[in-house]
Amino acid sequence: MENLPRFTAAAVQASPVYLDAAATVDKAVSLIHEAAGNGASLIVFPEVFVPGYPYWNWTMNPVQGSPWFERLQRSSVDVPGPHVDTLRAAARQAGATIVIGVNERAAHSLGVLYNTLLTIGADGELLGVHRKLVPTWAEKLTWTGGDGSSLRVHRTRIGPLGVLACGENTNTLARFTLLAQGELVHAASYIALPVAPEDYDMADAIALRTAAHSFEGKVYSVVACSTISPEIVEQIAGDDPDVRKLLARPRSALSGIFGPDGRPVTEPLVDDEGIVYAEIDLAKCIQPKQMHDIVGHYNRFDIFRLQVDNRPRSPLTLTAVEGDEPAPATLKEEA
């Protein structure tokens, strides 16, 4: 690692075109080209940016929210699929590494959606599909948890890159798993959360988590959070003044770039739409690691051991019996 990368990172803070995957992907492509035009080689988008976050889980009971789940399922993303292809093409055209959150439909069940982070290389290759391990609180009404197979650090042009979604950045063992694979750049994607308890400041929470990971691991963190547009308020709240007031709560979003000392490299953006840019110089991770390297000399691996099951999990395992006719690879559709 003689020549550690030095580059510009961009953290996108924006709203989706709510529950419209195609229009949101178009918006993402426009933002990719804007950020790349300003010199960004890494562009990080919010959690489930395509096509948005299920706020109804927090404002309605499960019966009222069920039709909204169907709307989300119908406008979610297939991986692989045409929306992913569009994002891959945009990354290739921009020459930038992209991290973007999507609602991913499962191939095997209409009832399964994943909160997924896509990592796309600057050449357009789909490097990673990370499914959020544990949906947070009310999110369990919408998403199925992923498995450990996607807890991987990707070797990219901008350095060793790892990603986690929102509350996963509170999970010490998940973060350590990435750090122990040599992560130097961490992408953290969030959603604006005005529906949290009254004493919960989401902007402060995001900053605290991001600073903690950067300081503990001596890495750079790029954190991107969504915003809540008037369109989202209109759809979710309707004529309910209490829900309207709730969704308008300030300090619900924060995006920015944090350095290996745990401090913001530049002023974070709170609540408003925009893109935060900052220069990242991975050589600045070296000296801090001499003091505290929790995946190296500042640990006791004779005492502590983390075992991660990174096997992909499938709902079905078929075991062939000798003499059985093999099942057809595909089923023909009826004419």
Candidate list 27, 104, 139, 166, residue with the active-site label? 166
Phi, psi of 135, deg, nearest 5: -60, 140
Active site residue 132: yes
H helices of 38-168, in order, are: 56-59, 62-74, 82-94
Candidate list 27, 132, 218, 289, residue with the active-site label? 132
Active site residue 225: no
Active site residue 285: no
- Report CA-CA distances (Å) from 221 to 160, 210, 313: 12, 7, 29
Candidate list 47, 104, 139, 168, residue with the active-site label? 47
Q: Where are the beta strands (DSSP E) in 74-180?
A: 97-105, 113-120, 126-131, 154-156, 159-165
Long-range contacts from 231-237, C-beta under 8 angstroms, 24+ separation: 231/15, 231/17, 231/18, 232/15, 232/18, 232/52, 232/55, 235/18, 235/19, 236/55, 236/56, 236/59, 237/59
Identify whether the C-beta of residue 29 lies closer than 8 Å to the C-beta of residue 36.
Answer: no
Alpha-carbon distance of 231 to 195, in angstroms, equals 17
- Which residues, 6+ apart, have CB-to-CB distance to 167 below 8 Å? 134, 136
Phi, psi of 118, deg, nearest 5: -95, 135
* Residues tagged active-site: 47, 132, 166
